Amino acid sequence: PIILSQTHFTHRDDLTYPFEERGLQFGDGVYEVIRIYDGSYYLLPEHIDRLFRSAEAIKIDLPFSKEDINSLLHDLLEQNDMSSDGIVYLQATRGSAPRNHAFPTDTPANVYAYIRDMPRKIDQLTNGVSAITQRDTRWENCYIKSLNLLPNVIAKQEAQVKGCYEAILHRDVIVTECSSSNIYLVQDGSIYTHPATNNILHGCVRMRVEQFTDDLNIPFFEESFSVEDIRNADELFLSSSTSEVMPVVKVDGNPVADGKPGNITRQMQETYEKDAN
Ligand code: PDD
């Protein structure tokens, strides 16, 4: 496999980092996960825009323009003869320097990107998944797609130990998002999701979901809902680049409505599939 390292291509075994690397020691960096269907990117410009927003928010200078990285990522597909479903993982850190909390000076960012096969989760997309609720213990800048994922990792692990797919996070009683996806509640034919504040990641799929509801004439409200609201929801679904539009049919052991993926969720899934192809 060929990977992108800085702005060059190399074999993945040839990439090494000094152990004094700021991504490794401080989680001092940002990343993106971008979906690939049949060897083509889905929502690539949206992900590149967010990468630049995240990097700017923590003052990392990226060593390329948006146009450059767009074409480098396309070259990466070609270099790997990628023609199936997968993802590209891209990260940019503040670089390699002797350990010191304050930023190093004149140190270039470290960037790499690689491709991985990832089939669509057909079984879960068809039948829905279960989730747990968990306190959201993250910081106040969750709109930055930062490498600091410890609370997310712990929440996801807790879900997995309980046999669940995701952890639905809440600050006080307000549901924010999930450990690695955004979440939506359907009530009386309308869709609700947490507003795009600093407390959630502004998902690229979330942005498309909002646009789909416009096309489908489904009322969409960027209004937060509570953990209690989930118990009375008609439908619940989540979204991300790896999960697509995923029905959530059970929360904390209780079925959501009749415990089957709902009609509006199905419409969103169908629209997603058309959009991604
Ligand atoms: N996660 N919220 C969080 C906390 C996320 O980590 C993600 C994505 C999303 C959905 O964003 P998008 O629609 O742009 O994929 C929401 C990726 C897939 C990950 O960390 O693997």
The residue segments making up the domain with residue 175 are 122-276
CATH of the domain at 137: 3.20.10.10
Question: What ipTM was predicted for this assembly?
Answer: 0.98
Cα 263 to averaged position of ligand 1 atoms, centre (Å): 24
pLDDT in tens, 227-261: 999 999 999 999 999 999 999 999 999 999 999 99
50 & 132 share domain: no
Q: Which pTM value belongs to this model?
A: 0.97
Cα 179 to averaged position of ligand 1 atoms, centre (Å): 8
Alpha helices in 162-203 (DSSP H): none
152 & 272 share domain: yes
How many domains does one find in the chain?
2
99 & 149 share domain: no
Buried b (16+ CB within 10 A) or exposed e, 219-236: ebeeebbeeebbeebbbb
Helix (H/G/I), strand (E/B), else coil: 201: coil
Looking at the CA of residue 87, tell me the nearest atom of ligand 1.
18
Pocket of ligand 1 (CB under 6 A): 33, 152, 177, 180-182, 201, 203-206, 239-242
The pLDDT of 181-204, averaged and rounded, is 98
Q: Which of 181, 184, 244 to mutate to test the pocket of ligand 1 (most atoms within 8 A of CB)?
A: 181
Select from 68, 91, 117 the last residue of a domain: 117
pLDDT in tens, 37-67: 999 999 999 999 999 999 999 999 999 999 9
105 & 139 share domain: no
Select from 117, 144, 160 the last residue of a domain: 117
Select from 59, 84, 117 the last residue of a domain: 117
Return the ∠ at Cα 270 (arms to 265 and 275), rounded to 5°.
120
CA distance 134 to 174: 11
Residue count (the chain): 277
